[in-house]
Amino acid sequence: AFVYNRYKQSENGGIQNDTLLDVASYADRQLVPVNLPALSLGSGNAAVTNTLRDYDLYLQNNYSFGKTDTIYNKDSTGVTIQFTPRFRIKHQLQLHSEKHIYRDMAPESTPIPNGPNRYAFIDPSFTFNASDSVYGVQNWFFIDNKFSLNGFVGKRKELVQIEAGIGNRIDRFNADYVSGNNTQSSVGNYVFGEIKKEAFSAGQWTYQASGIFFFTGSALGNFDIRASAGKDLGKWGMFSAGFRQNLSNAPYAYSTFRTNFYDRSYDFDKTSITQLWGNVFIDKIRVEVGVRNYLIANYLYYNSSLTPTQQSDALSVLQIYGGKEFRFGIFSLDNEVIWQQPTANAPVHLPALLLRHKFAIETTLFRKALRVAVGIEGRYHTPYYSDGYTPYFNQFYLQDTYKVDNVPECSAFFNFKIKRFRAFVLGDQLQQFISKNVINAPGYPAQNALLRFGFTWILIN
């Protein structure tokens, strides 16, 4: 497998004040004043850009030993070959790269005439010439090479897979800032294992447990353990539960950010995350309820001064969610609610309540050849101090001065399916016709009302 993504974002720093959205002269949202300049007067190109690029190359080889059965149909005109594995040798190779490129082609500009330089939050004494530009690249590249042995226990439809192996990983972190670069490399070795059983029919248990532990390199002591179990109860539904425990180094993006004008480097402790969750779905009455809890120690975040900060005290976030669908012939009403609460004084701001409701008409036409769904959807969250966004580091930061308080978001949709062809038309942000734009983060309103459409067509030869 090979996956490549590249995303270039032109930054405007957000609008200067959301009250401008109520001003009639700014009905054309392109005219609303923003905090960061264009590359040149009248230009549509931004002076500040963030470019993110990543790719993955993955190769897996395995050879299985087992039992082969030949199964014939009733009149012996057809034959099916079934293979039940008993032992497998597997090798996996992954190459992964992430790059973040920050550019500011006009750092001498100020948000207001005679105001402070835009980089005063880093160093008030900064001065720039008209020809200066700020440039910095953060790179992360690793090669992960692992070998494992796999065993299979039980009957073909009740197989339990057991895997154990060893791996080697080479990490390389690099900061490039025109006048030089800073490189860190690490070689780590680890052991890993997994036990897994899938449910091939109703009433069976499904479970999975896996773990990885680093015993050399800068990741020494890091581990990731997870386990889950569930059971299909047939027409009554199913339930599942699980946990995950993770200990890892601080991300490179938090500990190092270097450009040709400034260097920000920090030394952080390892972060520990514990997650517990449970979920019950009752198919007969179309009800789902669940709970999640996150316990985080040495939590990393950007504070209101745009400085990476680590909180040593553990914090907890509890989430309780539920859903209920009502059906009346071709009519359906789907409802979802989430309640969440972090521990007191935690550097995490979340809306206490989230609601989503969807009313739809679903039916078939033309002798069931055409399946259609048409309806409306509403989404709402209670007011909260949403994290702010800083284009200077392409990160979100904690803030407690601006509370996001939006009206419910509304959309209307029309979906249809003909055999393997699916298409949709969606009118989104429809509430904007009677209200100002929804605010996603301080200074960053959502789009005007807009139309989306798309299709999927699966071709089988």
Ranking 46-55, 79-88, 449-458 by mean pLDDT, the lowest is: 79-88
Give the pLDDT score at 116. 66
Q: What is the pLDDT at residue 452?
A: 95
Mean pLDDT of the chain: 91
Compute and round to an integer the Cα radius of gyration of the chain.
Answer: 27
With a pLDDT cut of 70, the percent of the chain lying above it is 97
| Whether 324 contacts 333, CB under 8 Å | no
Average pLDDT over every residue of 21-39: 90
pLDDT (0 to 100) of residue 113: 53
Q: Could you read off the pLDDT of 208-265 as tens digits, one per residue?
A: 999 999 999 999 999 999 999 999 887 778 899 999 999 999 998 899 899 999 988 9
pLDDT band at 34 (very low <50, low <70, confident <90, very high): very high
What residue has token string 């521990």? 343
Q: Which residue has the higher pLDDT, 376 or 156?
A: 376
pLDDT above 70: residue 460:
yes
Residues contacting residue 203 through CB under 8 Å, at least 6 positions apart: 231, 232, 233, 234
Q: Give the per-residue pLDDT at 241.
A: 97
Comparing 149 with 130, the larger pLDDT belongs to 149
Residue 308's pLDDT band, with cuts at 50, 70 and 90, is very high
- Residue 281: the pLDDT is 93
- Residue 288: closest CA among 196, 352, 356, 227: 356
d(CA 201, CA 234): 9
pLDDT confidence of residue 367? 86
312-353 tens-digit pLDDT? 899 999 999 999 999 999 999 999 999 999 998 899 999 999
pTM of the model: 0.88
What is the rounded CA–CA span in Å between residue 243 and residue 370? 43
pLDDT at 176 over 60: yes
Model confidence pLDDT, tens digit, residues 290-302: 999 999 999 999 9
User: What pLDDT, on a 0 to 100 scale, did the predictor assign at position 89?
Assistant: 96
Q: Furthest-apart CA pair in the chain: how many Å?
A: 91
Tell which wins on pLDDT, 179 or 350: 350
pLDDT of residue 445: 95
pLDDT band at 180 (very low <50, low <70, confident <90, very high): confident
Question: Would the pLDDT of 114 be above 60?
Answer: no
Catalogue the E-assigned strands of 259-387. 263-265, 271-282, 287-297, 299-302, 308-311, 315-328, 331-342, 353-365, 370-381
pLDDT score recorded for residue 72: 76
The pLDDT value given to residue 115: 58
Cα–Cα separations (whole angstroms), residue 52 to 5, 19, 86, 137, 267: 8, 32, 43, 10, 24
β-bridge mates for residue 258, sequence order: 263
Q: Helices (H), strands (E): how many in the chain?
A: 1, 26
Token digits for 93?
């190779």
pLDDT reported for residue 201 = 73
* Nearest residue to 29 via CA among 38, 40, 37, 18: 18
Q: Would the pLDDT of 112 be above 60? A: no
Instruction: Determine the Cα–Cα distance for residues 228 and 451; give it in Å rounded to an integer.
Output: 40
Q: Which pLDDT does position 44 carry in this prediction?
A: 74
d(CA 210, CA 299) in angstroms, rounded, equals 24
pLDDT at position 202 over 80: no
Report, as an integer, the average pLDDT of 431-453. Answer: 94
How far is it, in rounded angstroms, from Cα 444 to Cα 151? Answer: 53
